[in-house]
């Protein structure tokens, strides 16, 4: 089945982890043997060949660069200008992948439709993935995770002209335009200015990572399209990183799609980061289905969930479901949903249709 993944940090892996994502998975792992600078060395699950093998033909691919003031509790770049420069380097990597025919940018509805046709989109809207996907480019919609790198509102307009189509105002901790995971507080005047500019340009607001205060204020001040690219349910795993049921209901009311994430600590309760092992919990894809089913029950339908795996988002197999060795293992999900009684139409919606519908409405018209 064709798959859309609404959150992958591809350029971060390429530049900060120094991974050649055009190469086979095992080759990347072998090259990292013995390295200890990152906790997930040798445990990556994502590369372009595996995306193709798994039928993942469209991704929402990030730029990410946090600005960290001297008092910031987490690491990051020491000036907004450095953060902006980092995102520009990440953009240059995506452009290099385009030049090699590895990826193709999706900035308009027309580009989306042409790309889906390459991957087997039929006249009735269904997608039949070709048997041989090895030469197909992976389409990407460009998103910014954390807006700290936007030096001015003029930079937002520049980024939009470069192809940026979604912004999550915050990441972890306090941010320039909003407060993120494990922080508190609203978006303030600068955040409101950012949201007005995003709405003017037609940028999607990604509500992921907004702390409860900033979530409330952001949705009150933004009239454009909203999604949550990679978030799970607080009712199942109690943590401020997850959405509470009232937040999920509000996102549903705004027509959002919520992408289920595969970071294991967000899937099962009681996980202690850097201590708990996947083997200790038995975490599997079935736990992701639990979160997605919870959202479906709140919505009364299956139109507001999708995939935003966040695989290799600073973690690898050591913090992934036990039944995920590669992103291609997402193809195990249809069987799990069938076992829960989901229809084929609903499964197709979850794996790709819901986010594709959202993008076909939210992206600008264009050839």
Query: Which segment of 118-122, 156-160, 271-275, 285-289 scores lowest on mean pLDDT?
Result: 271-275
- Tell me what the pLDDT averaged over the chain comes to: 97
366 has pLDDT over 90? no
Mean pLDDT along residues 340-345: 98
Rounded Cα distance between 312 and 50, Å, is 13
Per-residue pLDDT, 72 = 87
Rounded Cα distance between 300 and 3, Å, is 23
Span 53-71, pLDDT tens digits:
999 999 999 999 999 989 8
Per-residue pLDDT, 102 = 98
Q: Write out the H or E segment, with its range, that includes residue 53.
A: helix 48-53
Tell me the longest C-alpha to C-alpha distance in the chain. Answer: 55
Mean pLDDT along residues 297-313: 98
Span 198-247, pLDDT tens digits:
999 999 999 999 999 999 999 999 999 999 999 999 999 999 999 999 99
Q: Domain-by-domain residue ranges, the chain?
A: 3-362
CATH number for the domain running over 3-362 = 3.20.20.140
Mean pLDDT along residues 318-340: 98
Nearby residues of 23 by Cβ (< 8 Å), 6 or more positions away: 47, 49
First to last CA, the chain: 27
Per-residue pLDDT, 367 = 76
């Amino acid at each position: 089945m064709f798959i859309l993944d609404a959150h992958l940090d591809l350029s971060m892996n390429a530049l900060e982890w120094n991974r050649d994502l055009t190469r086979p998975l095992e080759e990347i792992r072998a090259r990292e043997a013995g390295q200890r600078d990152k906790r997930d060395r040798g445990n990556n699950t994502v590369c372009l060949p595996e995306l193709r093998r798994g039928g993942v033909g469209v991704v929402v691919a990030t730029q990410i660069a946090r600005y960290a003031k001297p008092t910031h509790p987490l690491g990051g770049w020491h000036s907004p200008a450095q953060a902006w420069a980092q995102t520009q380097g990440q953009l240059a990597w995506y452009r290099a992948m385009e030049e090699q025919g590895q990826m193709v940018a999706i900035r308009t509805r027309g580009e989306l439709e042409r790309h889906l046709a390459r991957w087997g989109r039929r006249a009735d809207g269904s997608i039949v993935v070709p048997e041989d996907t090895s030469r197909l480019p992976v389409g990407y919609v460009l998103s910014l995770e954390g807006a700290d790198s936007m030096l001015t509102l003029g930079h937002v307009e520049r980024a939009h002209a470069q192809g940026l189509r979604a912004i999550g105002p915050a990441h972890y901790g306090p941010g320039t335009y909003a407060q993120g995971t494990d922080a508190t507080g609203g978006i303030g005047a600068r955040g409101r200015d950012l949201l007005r500019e995003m709405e003017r340009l037609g940028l999607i607001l990604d509500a992921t990572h907004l702390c409860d205060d900033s979530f409330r204020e952001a949705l009150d001040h933004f009239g454009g399209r909203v999604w949550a690219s990679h978030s799970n349910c607080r009712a199942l795993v109690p943590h401020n990183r997850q959405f509470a049921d009232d937040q999920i209901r509000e996102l549903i009311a705004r027509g959002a799609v919520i992408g289920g994430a595969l970071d294991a600590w967000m899937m099962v309760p009681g996980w202690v980061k850097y201590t708990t092992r996947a083997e200790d919990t038995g975490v599997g894809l079935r736990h992701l289905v639990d979160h997605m089913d919870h959202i479906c029950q709140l919505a009364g339908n299956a139109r507001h969930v999708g995939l935003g795996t966040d695989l290799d988002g600073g973690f690898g197999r050591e913090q992934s479901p036990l039944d995920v060795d590669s992103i291609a293992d997402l193809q195990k999900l249809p069987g799990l949903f069938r076992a829960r009684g989901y229809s084929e139409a609903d499964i197709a919606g979850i794996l790709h249709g819901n986010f594709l519908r959202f993008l076909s409405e939210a992206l600008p018209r264009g050839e």
